[in-house]
Structure 1
Amino acid sequence: MIITKSREEIELMRESALVVSRTLGMLASEIKPGVTTLQLDKLAEEYIREQGAIPGFLGLYDFPNTLCMSPNAQVVHGIPNSTPLQEGDIISIDCGAIKEGFYGDHAYTFPIGEISEETSKLLKVTKESLYVGIEQLRVGNRVGDVGYAIQKYCEDHGYGVVRELVGHGLGKTMHEDPEMPNYGQRGRGKKFVEGMVVAIEPMINQGTKRIKQLKDGWTILTADNKPSAHFEHDVAIIDGKPELLSTFKYIYDALGVTSTEEDKFRSKAYD
């Protein structure tokens, strides 16, 4: 069952999403060769709590940490550890927070120093596909419209679209209806309605769409060990159209990046 949110609830969810956005922005300044994912995880937990929120992933389904940190061929759900990041790596950082009873949940894949042109293209296309999907989140459209748009965009570039892992509705629990696959058929699936809030999150592989899981029960890898990218936003439907609740602005501020990619999906400016 889809749980719609009032305008007041959506604004509370925006605050939860922005806790995550600011946390990812803080981490953007700390990510460099030699830093361990465990160090970054500790910084994130402290920063989330300083914002009057609690880590949304810590203990969820018995997950042991604040962040899911998935480098290179890891797709998602990587567990932070003491292995230092290296020049040329990429790393997906997925972060969740709970504030005023609502979840925020989004992700960004960071390059570590200079990365290959091939991998840079994977990150670019995956992030672009996120906005291609968000464009379809409108009253009257269906889940399949978002999935089809993301799938076509990425497969047209020769990439594999993961099937087993999907986006989801978001609210007072981390995972609500509807599931939001990154593949599908136009005009199929649940219909979008006013007040929906979802997390859209393309998980796109440089090679095969197939995946495998490590014995830790969490970490998901590409089956061919080629890199994977992951970007995620929290989005509400307001006045029939998609409205971003999360933002990559704080990441871009830290990295000195200028971007207008969010402008058409955002009615409020963030400090």
Structure 2
Amino acid sequence: MTISTSEELAAMERVGALVGSVLSELRAAVAPGVTTEALDAIAARAFRRAGATSGPADLVGFPGTICISVNEEVVHGVPGGRVLREGDLVTLDVTPLLDGFCADAAVTVPVGKPSPAAAALLATTNRCLAGAVRAARAGDPLRHIGRATERTARAAGATIYTQFGGHGVGRTMHEPPGVANVHEPHVRTRMGDGLVLAIEPMLGLGRPELITRDDGWTVATADGSLSAHAEHTVVVRRGGGRVLTAA
């Protein structure tokens, strides 16, 4: 969507603030011995308190409130009995629907102390997101977001999972335009002021090939290597993207 009224902006700010608060609550609960199902229950309770519902569950039939992906799981992980262990990386992907509006954000956090390689991957992924948000400038080509992400990732030697990218968001979970995480010179679309985007680099340490698990949802690295995912919902502005989903 493109925000055109103060009422729309206020509604997106409310749902964005909910995403940020839920992510903060979930981060605090991540610890060795916790199951992904228990984390999902925390998100479900937070949504109910706010009068929100789950975008993935409501719109596409996802079997959980939020997506929770661990280590080699890149995206769309199904919450369940998996127990978090010291050194794991867990991605928390939160997408509520509130009063007819939707925001989407994700963060990958370590369980306890990460390995040096995992810590470096997390730092790279977060730098990619920060650079991509700065590139979300009104009037500039949409491809500049992917260019910023790709430059940072390649410089760090990280793998970019090009099978996935960001997207428009606002009135529903996935809207046009698609937002690639690599530079696509042929894309001529320019970003308008007020355009709402979910920007989400997904990076890893191994081969680029991915597989879908037997649950039909969870996408994982084919070689079992670590992955990380960072995402914010932003409003495109003249000076760069304005983040709506910060904690």
CA distance in 1, matches of 2:20, 2:68: 16
CA distance in 2, matches of 1:102, 1:137: 21
Q: In the alignment, residue 66 of structure 2 is paired with which amino acid? A: L
Paired position in structure 1 for 2:204: 205
Q: How far off its partner does 1:28 sit? A: 1.4
Paired position in structure 1 for 2:90: 91
Paired position in structure 2 for 1:144: 143
Q: How far off its partner does 1:237 sit? A: 1.9
CA distance in 2, matches of 1:74, 1:158: 20
Q: State how 1:170-209 maps to structure 2 within 5 Å.
A: 170-185=169-184, 188-209=187-208
Paired position in structure 1 for 2:123: 124
Paired position in structure 2 for 1:35: 34
Q: How far off its partner does 1:11 sit? A: 2.1
CA distance in 1, matches of 2:245, 2:97: 14
CA distance in 2, matches of 1:119, 1:166: 21
List runs of 5+ in structure 1 lacking aligned partners.
Answer: 250-271
CA distance in 2, matches of 1:239, 1:245: 16
Paired position in structure 2 for 1:165: 164
Paired position in structure 2 for 1:5: 3
CA distance in 2, matches of 1:95, 1:58: 11
Per-residue CA distance 1:165-220 (angstroms, 9 max, x = gap): 11100111111111011112357342100110000000001122221111211111
SS of 1:241 mapped into structure 2: coil
Tell me the TM-score normalized by structure 1: 0.87
Q: In the alignment, residue 4 of structure 1 is paired with which amino acid? A: T
Residue pair 1:90, 1:110 contacting (<8 A) in 2 also = yes
- Alignment RMSD (CA, Å): 1.4
CA distance in 1, matches of 2:17, 2:81: 28
CA distance in 1, matches of 2:92, 2:142: 25
Paired position in structure 2 for 1:269: none
Q: State how 1:221-260 maps to structure 2 within 5 Å.
A: 221-239=220-238, 241-247=240-246, 249=247
Does structure 1 residue 154 correspond to structure 2 residue 153?
yes
Q: How far off its partner does 1:239 sit? A: 4.7
Tell me the TM-score normalized by structure 2: 0.95
Q: In the alignment, residue 108 of structure 2 is paired with which amino acid? A: T
Q: How far off its partner does 1:240 sit? A: 5.5
Off by >6 Å, runs of 4+ in structure 1: none
CA distance in 2, matches of 1:131, 1:189: 23
CA distance in 2, matches of 1:128, 1:194: 24
% identical aligned pairs: 35
Q: How far off its partner does 1:95 sit? A: 0.8
Residue pair 1:37, 1:84 contacting (<8 A) in 2 also = yes
Q: In the alignment, residue 5 of structure 1 is paired with which amino acid? A: I
SS of 1:9 mapped into structure 2: helix
